[in-house]
Amino acid sequence: MGLIWLLSVSLLAQQVPLDKARLASQAQSFAEQLPNLIGTEVLQQKSISYSTRMRIRVGESALKPIEPKIRERKIRSELGYALRGKENPVWYELRKVIDVDGRSVMAPKKARERLAFGLKSDDERARLKMMEEFTKYGLDGLATDYSLSLLLFRFGEIDKIRFEWKAQEFLGADRVSVYAFLRTDGGASVTVFDGKQAMQQPLSGVIWLRASDLRPLKIQLSSLITQNNVQISDEGIIEYTESKFGAVLPQSVNYKRQVNGVLMIETKYEYKDFQKFGADAELKFTP
């Protein structure tokens, strides 16, 4: 048994070269699913803030640290993907909110129809308005476009990325090859809204690929910036699952922001019920 264990460890430790063309093909198949695709997204955010007001305290209360304020939000939306920009079009997430903290904003059917019309429209102003609407629900440090992270590895983009083999391990029941990567041209795929400011961040990360077919199962993106001697760390972990449309689709995103090593924001996204809508005016959906 000891010999068998040693052999298995030895096999897992062998470095596996990355087939970039095969990974790019998987990313391309993912991109080809995006047109006319709509699903349901559930966002749950927990944000932590610390009071900066000076308070005079006496007695035992003065000996206790000031408790941070924790705010929680839950937003359910219909989610779709749209290309923006004419010369160099880029995929973006678009949403139409259904409810906020259990309070109804729009009926699901109506939200899906409005979103579908927005995705079909060539009106850039209408799409931009839809993106801005989502930032008005009091979310802190809203991170978007993480579900599109697989697009980093498409043909024409993958050559801008440097890979380093890390390990071979198991992710659930799947044997996976793990690679660290760095976008060498400083390109970014994630937008973080901090108040009214949108920040595009340089990215590095890790990708988990199923060993049997290089199907992407998980991506971790990391970013570290310093502003006015304050260190801001953003991390997003995206998990993908098999799609009935032929490739993978996002299953969940877990986003965390730390400031000087202290967790300030954690946002979890879950995705389900992806459907395709037809190109006709009746917007018929196929399950």
For the chain, what are the domain ranges? Answer: 15-51+64-282
The confidence score (pLDDT) of residue 12 equals 47
Whether residue 57 is predicted with pLDDT greater than 60 in this model: the reply is: no
Answer yes or no: are the C-beta atoms of 249 and 243 closer than 8 Å.
yes
* pLDDT given for residue 254 in this prediction: 97
Checking if the pLDDT of 10 tops 60, the result is: no
Quote the pLDDT of residue 88. 80
Where residue 285 falls among pLDDT bands split at 50, 70, 90? low
Q: 11 falls in which pLDDT band (50, 70, 90)?
A: very low
pTM, full prediction: 0.83
Least confident of 81-90, 151-160, 249-258: 81-90
Residue 54 in this model has a pLDDT that exceeds 60: no
More confident: 12 or 138: 138
Main-chain dihedrals φ then ψ at residue 123, nearest 5 degrees:
-80, 105
Q: How many CB atoms lie within 10 A of CB 278?
A: 12
Using only the alpha carbons of the chain, give its radius of gyration. 21
Q: What is the pLDDT of residue 7?
A: 42
Q: Which of these ranges, 1-10, 114-123, 221-230, 241-250, has the smallest mean pLDDT?
A: 1-10
Q: What percentage of the chain reaches a pLDDT higher than 70? A: 79
Q: Say which amino acid occupies 251.
A: Q
Please check the confidence at residue 23 and state whether its pLDDT lies above 80: yes
**Predicted pLDDT at 48:** 83
Residue 196 backbone phi and psi in degrees, to 5 = -100, 0
Q: How far apart are the first and last CA of the chain?
A: 49
Looking at residue 240, its pLDDT comes to: 97
- For residue 199, pLDDT over 50 is answered with yes
CATH class of 15-51+64-282: mainly beta
* Amino acid in position 115: L
Mean residue pLDDT across the chain? 83
pLDDT(178) > 50: yes
Query: Nearest-CA neighbor of 23 among 144, 157, 173, 126?
Result: 157
Least confident range from 52-66, 155-169, 252-266: namely: 52-66
- Residue 213 pLDDT more than 80? yes
* Pick from 58-62, 73-77, 129-133: least confident: 58-62
